[in-house]
Structure 1
Amino acid sequence: MNKITLSLPLFFSFLLIFLSGCSSLTNNHQQITEHQNITERTKKLTAMSNWKIKGKMGIISPNERHSLTLNWHYQGDKNRQMLNLTTVLGIQVFTLESVNNMHVVNVDGERYQSPDLNTLLASLTGFTLPTHAMTFWLKGLPYLANDKITSNEITQLPQTLTSFSDEKKWFIKYGSYQQVDQYQLATKFTIKQDNITIKINVHQWDVTSNDSD
């Protein structure tokens, strides 16, 4: 398989845009005025099986920096997800569709399929993107039972999460929480593993599909 090649000077320039800019949140995002206790919040988010996010994602390693536009639709009740990554200029990086733990990635007009998504993405892109674990981390939930969460003493919202995926240790830092319908969700994430950093800036959470389940 050929790895995706990206113009690093171009991405470095637009990475600065990603780090300094953020589009407005939609009107179902409100400032948090009432705090949920940890048990209540965990119960609500565990039951939140369907969601969509739109935003920006930066991937930083010692040799590469990428700034991408992220569209991710996750349907846990159907064991399905669709993930679309493009450059800030609208150039397709890859699309992913997963159904019943079989994953299809389209890159440069070529179609690749595997039940091992992490290995497939790493072989095609050259960077690690632990998507399954991230479906928990983005909600501020532990991926494994022995994951460690620290919470803000006042708001009781997660501040950091130490987790493991594919036997690698990951550190997640949360920021800028918003009330999205009945859920309290972070809109800024920093995800680190050794010398790899993933920054996600969510411009829109869509959780309305859970209302009709």
Structure 2
Amino acid sequence: MTFHYFHFKVQARWLIVLLLSLGFVSCSTRPPEQVDLNSQQHQVALANLSHWQIRGRLGFKSPEQKTQSASLSWSQNLNEYQLSLNTILGTSILSMQGNEQGATLKADDETYTGANASELIWQITGWTLPIEQLPIWIKGKSLAGDKVVLAQQGWISQLQPSCSTCSGWILDYSAYATVNQLWLPHKIVLRHNLKQIQITIKVNTWIVK
């Protein structure tokens, strides 16, 4: 199956997802104002969090594609991750597993492999997703050199990453809640102003192992 033909099939499937998910909206609850974290200790705790899973929804918007959304599941075990996207009816859009060496993607009974997970996703779906960075970004973790804005509670409310492949991305975090005594974000909005891309991740469930 050629990428051109498969891309057409995926776009048709995303059209169905779009029609069924126009109501993609995320709400958040303001955290108690008495929360007063030590931001450095909080970042250390996030760095030590290496086994976790989230379930929720992912929304994607770009000039080429109107807002689309899918059910999201991401499981992280050290450097290994598993990602799955499904329609709201439960039909699999794609699944991916990978690590720092590369990724394998399965969609529509076809299997694809590549060294660059983000490029692989783009070839199949037309979506620009920073897959390699998401294991860090989803947690609300910053790296050396990143520009951050801290909320009054001590966690990151905005992140401008500095890595060589991160240019142009800005992340906004909200709806923090405690999971096993660790404050974790439940809404993340990723914006790339140059490419006019917006990705919204709404986490319904955090599982910390």
Task: Settle same-fold status: TM greater than 0.5.
Answer: yes
Check if 1:62 corresponds to 2:96. Answer: no
Residue pairs, 1:119-198, within 5 angstroms: 119-143=119-143, 145-152=144-151, 154-164=152-162, 166=165, 168-194=167-193, 195-198=196-199
TM-score, normalised with respect to structure 2: 0.85
1:112 aligned partner: 112
Give the drift of 1:97.
1.1
Q: Distance in 2 between matches of 1:186 and 1:167?
A: 20
Q: Distance in 2 between matches of 1:62 and 1:179?
A: 36
Question: Which one has a larger percent strand, Structure 1 or Structure 2?
Answer: 1
Give the drift of 1:180.
0.8
Identity of aligned residues (%): 25
Superposed CA offset, 1:175-207 (max 9, x none): 111011121111011101131100111000000
Task: Flag structure 2 segments of 5+ consecutive residues without an equivalent.
Answer: none
Question: What SS is found at the alignment partner of 2:123?
Answer: helix
Aligned partner letter, 2:157:
Q
Task: Flag structure 1 segments of 5+ consecutive residues without an equivalent.
Answer: none
Q: Distance in 2 between matches of 1:87 and 1:58?
A: 12
Question: What SS is found at the alignment partner of 1:6?
Answer: helix
Give the drift of 1:54.
0.2
> Aligned-residue CA RMSD in angstroms?
2.3
1:87 aligned partner: 87
Q: Distance in 1 between matches of 2:54 and 2:107?
A: 21
Q: Which segment is superposed worse, 10-19 or 170-179?
A: 10-19
Give the drift of 1:116.
1.2
Q: Classify 1:74/1:20 alpha carbon distance in 2 versus 1 (closer, same or farther; 3 Å).
A: closer
Q: Classify 1:139/1:21 alpha carbon distance in 2 versus 1 (closer, same or farther; 3 Å).
A: closer
Question: Size of the alignment, in residue pairs?
Answer: 198
Question: What SS is found at the alignment partner of 1:35?
Answer: coil
Check conservation: 1:32, 1:177, Cα contact below 8 A: no
Q: Distance in 1 between matches of 2:166 and 2:189?
A: 19
Give the drift of 1:9.
5.2
Check conservation: 1:161, 1:172, Cα contact below 8 A: yes
Q: Classify 1:171/1:99 alpha carbon distance in 2 versus 1 (closer, same or farther; 3 Å).
A: closer
Question: What SS is found at the alignment partner of 2:104?
Answer: strand
Question: What SS is found at the alignment partner of 2:11?
Answer: coil
Give the drift of 1:16.
3.1
Check conservation: 2:54, 2:73, Cα contact below 8 A: yes
Question: What SS is found at the alignment partner of 1:141?
Answer: coil
Check conservation: 2:21, 2:88, Cα contact below 8 A: no
